[in-house]
Structure 1
Amino acid sequence: MRQDQEVVIRPIEEQDLSRLWELIYREATPEWKQWDAPYFEHKAMSYEEFQQIERSFIQKEDMWVIEVNGTVYGTVSYYFEDAGREWLEIGIILHQPDRWNRGVGTRALRLWSEHLFETLPVVRVGLTTWSGNERMMRVAEKVGMQLEGRIRQVRVVNGKRYDSIRMGMLREEWNEKTLRI
């Protein structure tokens, strides 16, 4: 578990499962999906369908919940792009719009980045978003990431083309930033 004054990130527990279903799978077109990779398909599922996979959520070390004042509002996650476990990508989703633009995402992403740098032997933590998600790019910058790549016009959202954006931070940059704080 990691926390600051208001935000807690922690492993998923059994009591979180119905809330995660509600946030992620209850609706076919949730508002958060307009920003989180809207070019990938999202499928709603019944709670009965979710119950068939819910145990796998508890065993995930690569996904934690974001909690504010005892309520789960989203998730942070990571995965490796390569078999050698050198290229780590992270993600964050605040599923409820009433938590957007309050600094919760920035603080959760900072806590998650710190956790990963302190517990995994990685040289870089990065994320991929799209140029239409300006909030995500600002959050990444606030935690110390910088633009590493722009693949032009490869994401299509509502008939309009956007760039795929890669941002990241090296361990030495994180160490330097940590020493200044």
Structure 2
Amino acid sequence: MKVDIRPAKEDELEPLHSLVISNDEWMKFNGPYFPYSHPTLEQFESSSFQRLLAGSDLQLIIVDDIPVGTVSCYWECEETRWLEAGVVIYDAQYWGKGIAALALPLWVSYLFETKEIERVGLTTWSGNPRMMSLALKLGFQQEARLRKVRYYKGEYYDSVKYGVLWSEWSERN
């Protein structure tokens, strides 16, 4: 199994839109407490697809030449260079195969190489133990736990923040 990341290609609009709307399972782990509805093809084309084409804050995860998910980043505070990263595997048949563990390091290295930053953050919630485990496995340190700030299906969960510094990442990788 070969895992890579890359920007989208112009001819991938419809297949990528289909991938994103193919099921709702991935949303159970990716902040399900936030409202979300699948984008129409037109909405996807004008927003996420443009970001995927540019590739600077959103790229595809490719497994054996097949797109299965995305890696992303966003500025928590651009003025202070506080950047957060994320990963989503949309296709459930690829879950539990270690794909995120192979794709996320490629993305973190890309972020450190292309952006003027000293730290990459990763925030998840206590309802996603696989992401919490992955962050630690990749060398991120738990920096904060905001207790019971995510309410979902009648239960409170923690928001858990991880970070890795450039010096730590370069030493490990």
Give the TM-score normalised by structure 2. 0.91
Within 1, Cα distance between the matches of 2:40 and 2:85?
A: 27
1:21 equivalent to 2:33? Answer: no
1:6 equivalent to 2:2? Answer: yes
Within 2, Cα distance between the matches of 1:54 and 1:168?
A: 25
The residue matched to 1:84 in structure 2 has which SS? helix
Q: Give the 4+ runs in structure 1 shifted more than 6 A.
A: none
**Residue of structure 2 equivalent to 1:56:** 50
Q: Which amino acid aligns with 1:168?
A: G
Q: How does 1:74-113 map to 2 (within 5 A)?
A: 74-113=69-108
For 2:38, which of 44, 48, 51 is the aligned residue? 44
Size of the aligned set, in residue pairs, is: 172
Q: Is the CA contact 1:26–1:47 (under 8 Å) kept in the aligned structure 2? A: no
Q: CA deviation at 1:20?
A: 2.1
Within 2, Cα distance between the matches of 1:174 and 1:61?
A: 20
**RMSD (Å), alpha carbons:** 1.8
Q: Is the CA contact 1:92–1:109 (under 8 Å) kept in the aligned structure 2? A: yes
For 2:154, which of 159, 164, 168 is the aligned residue? 159
Q: Which amino acid aligns with 1:11?
A: P
Q: Is the CA contact 2:6–2:55 (under 8 Å) kept in the aligned structure 1? A: no
Within 2, Cα distance between the matches of 1:53 and 1:82?
A: 21
Q: CA deviation at 1:168?
A: 0.8
For 2:139, which of 141, 144, 166 is the aligned residue? 144
Within 2, Cα distance between the matches of 1:19 and 1:124?
A: 34
Within 2, Cα distance between the matches of 1:177 and 1:119?
A: 19
Within 1, Cα distance between the matches of 2:166 and 2:48?
A: 34
Question: How far does the alpha carbon of each residue in 1:129-180 deviate from its partner, in whole angstroms, 9 at most, with x for none?
Answer: 00010001111112110100000000012111000010010111112112xx
Q: Is the CA contact 1:78–1:88 (under 8 Å) kept in the aligned structure 2? A: yes
The residue matched to 2:56 in structure 1 has which SS? coil
Give the TM-score normalised by structure 1. 0.87
